[in-house]
């Protein structure tokens, strides 16, 4: 029984340490955008940060930025290629009681470990700017685009 209690306490401490570490790392953000596609490779996404084409379903890191993307085929008829972008999102609003923790932030690590980590004084909390949501771009939006201003 004594070993069970020691083991239970050890698990509780490990879980608390894991929860604390997660609380310091900001949320990550995901968004779908139209994929870049080269005319010579119509069924593949173009990863500009790698200067390479990527097959649907494959993921690539966005170095030198902190993020990753995945090439995705939409469920539209006809299907389109989309890029699922995951990154650290916007930086928090300035707060004198919260500082970027240079020692814990690893800008060269793979995503999401490269996201900035902030340390706040007791009771202080980071606040993030509102991110406006944009309606999906219709497939025929390029046909409607014009350089002539509408009256």
Is the entire prediction scored with pTM above 0.85?
no
- Residue 127's region, left for phi above 0, alpha for psi from -120 to 50, else beta, is beta
Question: Of 134, 103, 99, 94, nearest to 119 (Cα)?
Answer: 99
Per-residue pLDDT of the chain (151 residues; tens, 9 = 90+): 443 333 333 333 333 333 343 345 667 899 999 999 999 999 999 999 999 999 999 999 999 999 999 999 999 999 999 999 999 999 999 999 999 999 999 999 999 999 999 999 999 998 888 876 655 544 444 333 333 333 4
């Amino acid at each position: 029984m004594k070993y069970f209690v020691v083991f239970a306490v050890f698990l509780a401490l490990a879980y608390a340490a894991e929860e604390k570490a997660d609380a310091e790392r900001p949320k990550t953000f995901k968004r779908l955008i139209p994929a870049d596609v080269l005319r010579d490779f119509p069924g593949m996404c173009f990863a500009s940060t790698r200067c390479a084409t990527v097959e649907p379903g494959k993921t690539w890191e966005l170095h030198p930025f902190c993020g990753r993307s995945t090439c995705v085929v939409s469920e539209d008829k006809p299907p389109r290629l989309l890029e699922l972008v995951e990154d650290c999102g916007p930086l928090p609003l300035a707060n004198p009681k919260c500082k970027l923790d240079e020692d814990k932030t690893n800008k060269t690590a793979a995503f999401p470990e490269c996201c900035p980590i902030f340390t706040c004084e007791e009771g202080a909390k980071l606040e993030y700017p509102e991110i406006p949501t944009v309606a999906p771009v219709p497939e025929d939006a390029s046909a409607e685009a014009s350089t002539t201003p509408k009256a």
